[in-house]
Amino acid sequence: MHIVVCMKQVPDSAQIRVHPVTNTIMRQGVPTIINPYDLFAIEEALRLRQQYGGEVTILTMGPPSAEDSLRKALSFGADRAVLLTDRFFAGADTLATTYALATAIRKIGAEFGPPDIVFTGKQTIDGDTAQVGPGVAKRLGLLQLTYVSHINSVDLENRMIEVERRAEGGVQTLRSKLPCLIAILEGVNEIRIGSLTDALKAARAEVVKWSAQDAGVEDITKCGLRGSPTIVKKVFAPKPRAEKAELLELGEQPGEALIEELFKRRPKLESELEKLSRGY
């Protein structure tokens, strides 16, 4: 079984800064980490490899410095790492990102064997859109399983997988054909600490580096800022509210009396909320 995990190196959320002109995230000089949601995807891929055999390939798109995060992923025990890096990828929104990643996954399939499962984290902590996983699945024509909380079984002989998906109001049990893409939830497993042997291998490992041309990108206008229709008009912090929260003294009032009092105040509250929404 071949598993590809899409991983992203992101700025430490505590130190994110936004460019005042372009309204894009400033990554220079900001400490970076592996996107926390992707760590659960990596761990789940390694667990499946341990149970069913095969290989795990980690894929990321980013600047040359993203190699550090890939080596960290290798230290957990992944088999190989692929870095998609090129100035043409800079400034990509989710549409351009999914185009580049899908192209690279096709190249990975051609060189290292077609993937049975593509893993992504639920979302990233910088963009926070949760669009990349489904977007990659759409471009590759893969069945997609999102918000997956547990993988029950994988039947390689019959090319089937059964998962549990967290849904509003409960949990769904889904069966799907392979290959598929799985967007995994946070907290579904306990991320391992890599062994010393894996850490030494990661330090010596060769990270596969592909430019846009190497990855087989045919239309460069679909990459990076040129291929990104998303425009961030404005980034701002919410204005602090001058009004203080009103404290209702319950006293000895029964529940019915409190509900009646809240209904009396409802028109005023709705009016204030409407004014507040217009202000933003």
Per-residue pLDDT tens digits for 37-79:
999 999 999 999 999 999 999 999 999 999 999 999 999 999 9
Higher pLDDT among residues 35 and 235, named by residue: 35
Look up the pTM and report it. Answer: 0.80
R_g of the chain computed on alpha carbons: 23
Per-residue pLDDT tens digits for 221-278:
999 988 999 887 777 667 777 777 767 666 666 667 777 777 777 777 777 667 666 6
Ordered DSSP codes for 129-192: ---HHHHHHHHHT-EEEEEEEEEEEEETTTTEEEEEEEETTEEEEEEEESSEEEEEPTTSS-PP
Least confident of 6-10, 74-78, 186-190, 235-239: 235-239
